[in-house]
Structure 1
Amino acid sequence: MQAVLSSDFSFAQFRYLQRLLLVHGRWSYIRMCKFLKYFFYKNFAFTLVHFWYGFFSGFSAQTVYDQWFITLYNLMYTSLPVLGMSLFDQDVDDRWSLLFPQLYVPGQQNLYFNKIVFVKCMLQGIYSSLILFFIPYGAMYNTMRSDGKAIADYQSFALMAQTCLLIVVSVQ
């Protein structure tokens, strides 16, 4: 009884352990791997846009995004896809997880998140950041109205870059 009181959770019978490991443990592992891949990807894409902007701003202290956007990026804007995925994602039905215990093996072998998967997330984030910076920059570079005034300014570029970032990262 002392062990039950000092533990985080306990089982009345060992037969409940099978469902916990093969169903809920597997789902939790897959969700965590998807979360980590998404987290690294979105933050590489977000941060490296700042890096590319540094080359065009003389590495000044000027950021490419609005301060509120920087503050709310991880807190609100990109947390909803992760929250939805963590609540509802189930790759296979729970009965299949119990009928086919070999579905548990990729988790034991770290196939869903490892160094290779991390490098892929990093490369995808680098590629996305290049696209997310240079397409808005190229679209707004030397744009003039018919009266000779510039259309593009810092705020327009920042708004376009952060809107593109949110769309791309949310769709990912």
Structure 2
Amino acid sequence: MTKVDSVICCRASPAQKALLVTQIGKGPQKKAHWYSWLSPTSTTPLTLAIGDGANDLAMISAANVGVGISGREVQQAVRVADFSISQFRYLSRLVLVHGCWNYYRTTRFILATFWKETFFYLPQALFQEQTGATGTSLYEPGSLTFVSFFTAACILVIGTFEQDLHSRTLTVVPELFKYGQNAEGLNMSVYFSWFSNALVAGLIVYAGAWAGYMDSEMIDVDGWYAQGLLTFVLCGIWVNIKLLVIELHYKTRVALWSILGSLAVLWAYLLIAGAISSPSSAPYSVRGGLSLEFGRDPA
């Protein structure tokens, strides 16, 4: 059974339907090699079960993904299914369109999250070379507390609204569904490419901020707040541009307002923190850090 292309059953019992789905899910598994962890092809079969009655409950529960169709039997199948549709004709759009979109959104959400964290905190690690690995933070502690407010919107937009291809394209070309079947959107090769990009981007930002901090004649401060602030702002801008301008395919007003809102909140926080913080001689002199230590000239 596990080596055939199709199986047709007539008057099967609920237990037989569930057994059929279970057996198909067990194989045939593709042969694994020592380099298989780098391969984008999935080695484990995934099963989809579709039912509209009470006799389909066991089958739907045994599948990886269950779809319930609203029927006359008090909708038991709908209650145990992962997704529900009112008519069978909506199945193609559910699988080919929303299935592909959901897979792409999930993979990009995961990759963007890891990319952002790696990129944002790499300067922290590089800064330890300047401090003799003392564990001193490059960023002011308050900025680290609210960093998610400046970078969460771009990741949520990708994970919620992204559409890499038009719905008609996905419907007319069903072969595009193999993108998810073969795990081409999220595998170790893709992950390492995003991870490498984060390392390079973090190194560029840190080196650029350090060079600007050392060579600028406008910065009048002996602490670390100016260098950390410059790096922090560059990272915040880079994250929003990378995810909402470069990576996002489905650009709408939501994406535009997200990037503008994130940057506005970032600058508002810096101005408010510099105005209400108490004077301090510590390395993080937040009081007037943005308006005074970088010079009164807006240029």
Category of TM-score, reference length = shorter chain: 0.7 to 0.9
Q: 1:141 aligns with which of 188, 195, 214?
A: 214
CA shift at 1:152, angstroms? 5.6
Shift of the 101–142 alpha-carbon distance from structure 1 to 2, 3 Å rule, reads: closer
Q: 1:155 aligns with which of 225, 233, 240?
A: 225
* CA distance in 1 between partners of 2:237 and 2:79 (Å): 48
**What is the TM-score of this pair, normalised by structure 2?**
0.51
Structure 2 residue 238 is matched with structure 1 residue 164: no
Aligned to 1:36: 110
CA shift at 1:66, angstroms? 1.7
Which portions of structure 1, spanning 4 or more consecutive aligned residues, are displaced by more than 4 angstroms?
142-145, 149-152
CA shift at 1:42, angstroms? 1.1
* CA distance in 1 between partners of 2:209 and 2:90 (Å): 54
- Greater percentage in helix: 1
Question: Structure 2 regions of 5+ residues with no counterpart?
Answer: 1-53, 55-75, 243-299
Q: 1:22 aligns with which of 64, 89, 96?
A: 96
Aligned to 2:154: 81
Shift of the 44–171 alpha-carbon distance from structure 1 to 2, 3 Å rule, reads: same
1:102-113 matches, cutoff 5 A: 102-113=175-186
Q: Specify the code of the residue in structure 2 equivalent to 1:78.
A: T
Confirm or deny: 8 A CA contact 1:140 1:152 kept in the other structure.
no
* CA distance in 2 between partners of 1:122 and 1:43 (Å): 10
Structure 2 residue 166 is matched with structure 1 residue 96: no
Residue by residue, what CA displacement relative to the aligned partner does 1:73-123 show, whole Å, maximum 9, x if unpaired?
2x3111111222334322222222222111111111111221111111111
Q: 2:145 aligns with which of 51, 71, 84?
A: 71
**What is the TM-score of this pair, normalised by structure 1?**
0.85
Confirm or deny: 8 A CA contact 1:136 1:160 kept in the other structure.
yes
Aligned to 2:127: 53
Q: Specify the code of the residue in structure 2 equivalent to 1:124.
A: N
Across the two proteins, how many residue pairs are aligned to each other? 168
* CA distance in 2 between partners of 1:141 and 1:131 (Å): 15
Residue by residue, what CA displacement relative to the aligned partner does 1:27-67 show, whole Å, maximum 9, x if unpaired?
01111122222112111111211100011112223211122
State the structure with bigger RCO (CA 8 A, min sep 6), 1 or 2.
1
Q: Specify the code of the residue in structure 2 equivalent to 1:66.
A: E
Q: 2:188 aligns with which of 95, 115, 126?
A: 115
* CA distance in 1 between partners of 2:79 and 2:152 (Å): 35
Larger Rg: 2
CA shift at 1:21, angstroms? 0.9
- Greater percentage in strand: 2
- RMSD over aligned Cα atoms: 2.2
3-state SS of 1:141 partner: helix
